[in-house]
């Protein structure tokens, strides 16, 4: 074989060998939190849009406060207690609408954190939940005391009061705004109010706003307790809609654990859908 022909054969052989071999590249190991490029707060988008835009959300809030007013009128016509009357109201998604904070989490693709929650609170710009302001003013005009029992942090007391006062909510003073100090459970604060008042109504968006039997419970337990207390809803207990967050998510869907990865949380949400 001539030298030129031999060189051509050798070159073709090398090229064939290179073509058949696999490239030796290092593939990045998948991370635990990988969820196919979907933003971590994408699942929250529709809930926030519903609260911010749906007339149905507003209608449910008006309905809740209409029922509450009718019940208050009944109480005033029928009570015979020597103690002054009071109602206990949660603040977030019951009195004040914090959906802009949830919107910001979506747009920034971040989870809830105390620093960002503090930053939102310092703006003092949360607006009243539909129907709320008229109701609490009406209650105050009837001589009923309002206590705001919220799991906002005690460090947020000043801006919380300022936000309430800005809109003209009655009883927006430190003695009537009981925020979280050591525990999220609200029962000790409710008992504190009960020492000097007859509490005729509790209003909230989370069932733990009403009774300690809902604290730190699974979805099955919470649903069982709701059924057991069904006669209280619409009379002593008034529930406001909140599809964005709550114990139904943290204690229910995520089973009271806060250390799930984003991928695990996404899988849990899908696993708990009921298609049949």
CATH, range 37-260: 3.40.50.1000
Residue ranges of domains in the chain: 37-260
Mean of the per-residue pLDDT values for the chain? 89
- Enumerate residues 6+ apart whose C-beta is below 8 A from 174: 157, 161
DSSP assignment of 233-269 equals BTTTEEE----S-SHIIIIIITTT-S---HHHHHHHH
Query: In the structure encoding, which two tokens stand for residue 161, read together?
Result: 């009061």
pLDDT per residue over 161-173, tens digit each? Answer: 999 999 999 999 9
- Enumerate residues 6+ apart whose C-beta is below 8 A from 69: 135, 138
pLDDT per residue over 106-134, tens digit each? Answer: 999 999 999 999 999 999 999 999 999 99
Q: What is the largest CA-CA distance in the chain?
A: 119
Query: In the structure encoding, which two tokens stand for residue 72, read together?
Result: 């208050």
Measured CA to CA, the distance from residue 175 to residue 145 in angstroms comes to 11
Measured CA to CA, the distance from residue 103 to residue 91 in angstroms comes to 19
Q: What is the pLDDT of residue 131?
A: 98
The model scores a pTM over 0.75: yes
Between the two ends of the chain, the Cα-to-Cα distance in Å is 76
Q: What is the pLDDT of residue 36?
A: 63
Nearest of 208, 109, 122 to residue 158 by alpha carbon = 122
- Enumerate residues 6+ apart whose C-beta is below 8 A from 133: 167, 168, 169
* Burial of 121 from C-beta contacts in 10 A (0-12 / 13-18 / 19+): buried
Instruction: Calculate mean pLDDT across residues 189-218.
Output: 97
């Amino acid at each position: 074989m001539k030298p030129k022909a031999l060189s051509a054969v050798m070159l073709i052989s090398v090229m064939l060998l290179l073509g058949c071999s696999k490239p030796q590249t290092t593939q990045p190991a998948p991370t635990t939190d990988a969820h196919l490029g979907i933003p971590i707060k994408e699942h929250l988008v529709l809930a926030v849009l519903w609260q911010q835009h749906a007339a149905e959300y507003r209608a449910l809030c008006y309905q809740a406060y209409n029922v509450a007013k009718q019940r208050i009128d009944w109480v005033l016509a029928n009570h015979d207690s020597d103690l002054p009357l009071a109602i206990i109201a949660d603040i977030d998604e019951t009195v004040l609408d914090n959906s802009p904070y949830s919107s910001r989490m979506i747009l920034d693709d971040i989870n809830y954190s105390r620093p960002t929650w503090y930053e939102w609170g310092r703006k003092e710009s949360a607006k009243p939940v539909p129907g709320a302001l008229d109701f609490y003013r009406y209650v105050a005009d009837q001589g009923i005391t309002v206590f705001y029992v919220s799991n906002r942090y005690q460090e947020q007391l000043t801006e919380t009061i300022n936000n309430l006062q800005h809109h003209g909510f009655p009883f927006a003073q430190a003695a009537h705004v009981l925020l979280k100090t050591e525990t999220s459970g609200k029962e000790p604060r409710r008992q504190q109010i009960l020492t000097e008042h007859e509490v005729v109504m509790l209003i909230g968006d989370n069932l733990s706003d009403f009774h300690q039997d809902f604290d730190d419970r699974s979805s099955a337990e919470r649903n069982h307790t709701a059924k057991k207390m069904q006669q209280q809803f619409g009379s002593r207990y008034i529930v406001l809609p909140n599809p964005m967050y709550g114990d139904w998510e943290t204690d229910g869907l995520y089973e009271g654990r806060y250390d799930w990865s984003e991928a695990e949380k996404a899988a849990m949400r899908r696993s708990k859908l009921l298609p049949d």
